[in-house]
Structures are given as C-alpha cells and as structure tokens.
Amino acid sequence: MANNKENTIMAVGAWMSFDALIDLTAGKKIVFWGCFDFFEKSMKKYAFPVEFLVDINTHLHGKKSHHGFDVKDPSVLEHLEPKSDYFIIVSSSAFYEIFKVLEKYGFAPGKHFAATPLLNDMRIIDDFYSINSRVIFSSSDASRDLHNRGGGLYQMDMGTGVIEKKISGVTRGFAFYEGSCFVADADKGVRVLDQSYEDIDCIKLPHGAYPHGIAIDAKKKRLYLVLSRFDQVHVYDIESLKEIDIIKISNKYERSGRSFYQHHINDICVDGDSLYISMFSRTGTMQVNWYNGTILDFDTVDKVVLGEVASGLWMPHSPKVLKDSLAFLNSMRGELYLESHKVESRFNGFVRGLDFDGKYYYIGQSIHRYFDLMKDTSNNISVDAGIHVYEPMTHASRFFPTPTIKDINTLIVTA
C-alpha cells in the first residue's frame, strides 16, 4: 500500500463530485475499470454512455459479458489512442494501484481518468490507514507505576504504532529552534536538548514556578515561557538564555498566608507582535470554581493586553496559528476551534496539544480527570489517552491510543 504522501500526490485531480465527473466526461469514450458494486451503483446514479469495461478477472472477459457491456483485460488501455478521446472511471476498491497503472500508460488524473465519487469514503479510510507521520509529544504525568511510563518527551511512529521515550520528566510545553529542543520541565526548568535529545543546557526557574507553555519567536530570537503558578510569562534571549522581560498577567493573590494563581495561564503562541495566551479564568475566580476561560491577545511591543480573542471557554489550551488563522482547543468540552466563534469538531475526551501537517489536524487527548463535571453535558466521556488525526473536509478522524501514557500536553508533527 502506498504511504499517505504518495497517495495524496496520486489523488490530485482524481476525486470529484458527480456533477463535475458528468461534465468532464461529456463527449468522451467512457471506460469503467471495475465491474461490480461501484460500477453498478455509479450507473444507477447516472447512465454514462459506456464504451466497454476492463477488469483483471479473466472470467468476466468477453463480448457483452457483463450487463450487456464488453469486458476486456486492463492492458488494452495502454494502446488506446488518442488518449484525449477517452475517459476512464475507476470503480474498483484498488483505486490507488489502478491510478499508478493508468499514469504509467500515459493517462493524467482529472484529465483522462478519475475515481467514481462513490469510492470517496473508501479513499478517506485508506488514507487514514496509510498515515505514517511521526509526532513528538510531551507528558506531565508524575506517576511511574507498572502501568504507566510516567512523564517525559515521546515520539510516536503512526505507521507502526511504536512509541519511543526520548527523555523522562514532568514535561509540558516544548519547541524546536535551530536543531535544539527547548522543554519545560517542572523539576529542572527549561531544558535545552540537542538533536539526540541529550541535555546541553538549562534555564533554572524559581521553585514551584509550574512552567507550562513555550513559544519561540525566531525572528526576534526570543523564548516565551508561561509560569502558571505566578500568572506570568517570562521572556528570554534564545541564544544567551538570559531573562530579558517578565509579563505579569495579574498580581499575586494571597489568602490565609497562602499564595494562589488566579488565572492559570497555560499555553502560548507568538505571531508577529502578538502573543496569544490561553487561561482558565479571565476574572481570576478559579478559587470559587468559576472557569470563564479565554484566549488573550497581548501586544509584545506596547506590552498591553489588546483584548480577548475568544471567551466563555472551559479550560482552553494550545493556541496556535495554523493556515493564517488562530486555532485552539476548548479542552473540557473536547472542542477544536479553527475560526472565530466556530466549533470545527468535538471529541469525547479532554483535548490538549494541537498541530497541522497541511492535510490533517493532530489533537492530543489526555485521560479525563474531571469527567464527573461533564456528566450533565455529555453521555459519552472518554478516559482514553492518545492522538486524534482529523480531516476537516470530511470531518472524519482516526484515534491513535497511547496505552501506557496517561496525558498529553504539547505535540508537534515532525515528519
């Protein structure tokens, strides 16, 4: 089976609606490749003026041998001339292999051949099961029992399902910059790793800082780090690792001699002069269980909050500019947002960690530790952990479980 990238290249132009297929085949000599269900259903959908059929099953070959149509060996297609007079409709579930043969014979997708639209669902499934991406993801789980690998940085090979642990630690945000990986580790600080994931440097942090999201501005050579415990974003020179600024989202809140973080700022992304910051509570009312989550737009030049990009969220995470649009996850409700005020998709678990490879969105899911709060809003609450791969054109998805890893914080598709 071809891998996903090869399939995508071959599929260009070969998939279309029935209306487009009818228009494209007008005046052409039409040949169907494949004699059974998808041919018969296509003909019920529209009575194409068929010249003949081809099929690899030799028992079908012969004059008027199938529904009154001649059936020939597919090899006859190689010698059809001129090719511009013909249009081949692929009606076999082996469509990707057939596309390769047709291109070898000199036919072009979308010009000389296409698949029947009735095969589109099978194409989507085939593509999902051909995914061989590699994803790096972090886990902050501090437990290390027999049934859990504990926190750290992992790589998942989606083609094989193999999960490889790169480092151990209570890790959350991470980002890559010029061959190095910067990882927020609750115990050690910001760890700087080389391409082999070996520690080469570290930014020490105040005790109990609770480091979370990381964002890197490559143009300005700055690293932004969320310290959730302090409701602050610390700014570092990416090359010297020296702290150059502190962005305070709120002042320290104290009650009965104890300090509290009010907003639980967690994840962050940078786009131009804007810093997008996700938080659990805009009004700082977490201590009374009032979660009015938001995504803030902070101007890094004037150092002011420009406003709320989104509000009324429930434990949001993972703001990220993808396809020139700000995307994020409304974690408790399992919602993926790709545009303002629009829920693109819903999943039935606690989602956190987001990336896009040009075709699919990758959404991390952690074991749901708050499912009792969801019982009145959902009748199916997942406690699985893993990665959803979501295709926005069809709204279809596939789930890749992480059986021994309980939570996912940040994920990046690397290949």
Domain spans of the chain?
4-128
> What per-residue confidence (pLDDT) applies to 252?
56
Indicate the pLDDT class of residue 408, thresholds 50, 70 and 90. very high
**Whether 111 contacts 136, CB under 8 Å:** no
Above 80 in pLDDT, residue 349? Answer: yes
* Overall residue count recorded for the chain in this entry: 415
What is the Rg, in whole angstroms, of the alpha carbon atoms belonging to the chain? 27
> What per-residue confidence (pLDDT) applies to 6?
47
> What per-residue confidence (pLDDT) applies to 144?
57
Burial 282-307 (b: 16+ CB within 10 A, else e): bebebeeeebbbbbbbbebeeeeeee
Pairing of strands 325-330, 335-339: antiparallel
Stated as kind and residue range, the H or E segment containing 126 is helix 120-128
**Whether 116 contacts 91, CB under 8 Å:** yes
Above 60 in pLDDT, residue 300? Answer: yes
pLDDT in tens, 118-151: 999 999 999 999 999 999 999 998 765 545 568 9
Higher pLDDT, 141 or 408: 408
Indicate the pLDDT class of residue 396, thresholds 50, 70 and 90. very high
Structure tokens at 212: 């979370």
Mean pLDDT, range 77-98, rounded to an integer: 96
**Whether 171 contacts 140, CB under 8 Å:** yes
Phi then psi dihedrals of residue 115, to 5 deg: -85, 150
Residues 117 and 113: their CA atoms lie apart, in Å, by 12
> What per-residue confidence (pLDDT) applies to 183?
98
Half-sphere exposure of 253 (CA within 13 A, CB side): 15
Residues 153 and 130: their CA atoms lie apart, in Å, by 25
| Fold that domain 4-128 belongs to in CATH | Rossmann fold (3.40.50)
pLDDT in tens, 190-228: 999 999 999 999 999 988 889 999 999 999 999 999 999
pTM greater than the 0.85 cutoff: yes
Indicate the pLDDT class of residue 257, thresholds 50, 70 and 90. low
> What per-residue confidence (pLDDT) applies to 255?
53
- Print the SS3 string covering 17-69: CHHHHHHHHCCCEEEEECCCHHHHHHHHHCCCCEEEEECCCHHHCEEEEECCE
Residue among 208, 41, 207 at smallest CA distance from 119: 41
Q: Is 300 helix (H, G, I), strand (E, B) or coil?
A: coil
> What per-residue confidence (pLDDT) applies to 2?
38
Indicate the pLDDT class of residue 340, thresholds 50, 70 and 90. confident
Above 50 in pLDDT, residue 8? Answer: no
Indicate the pLDDT class of residue 259, thresholds 50, 70 and 90. low
Higher pLDDT, 269 or 264: 269
Residue among 364, 340, 345 at smallest CA distance from 354: 364
Mean pLDDT, range 63-68, rounded to an integer: 92
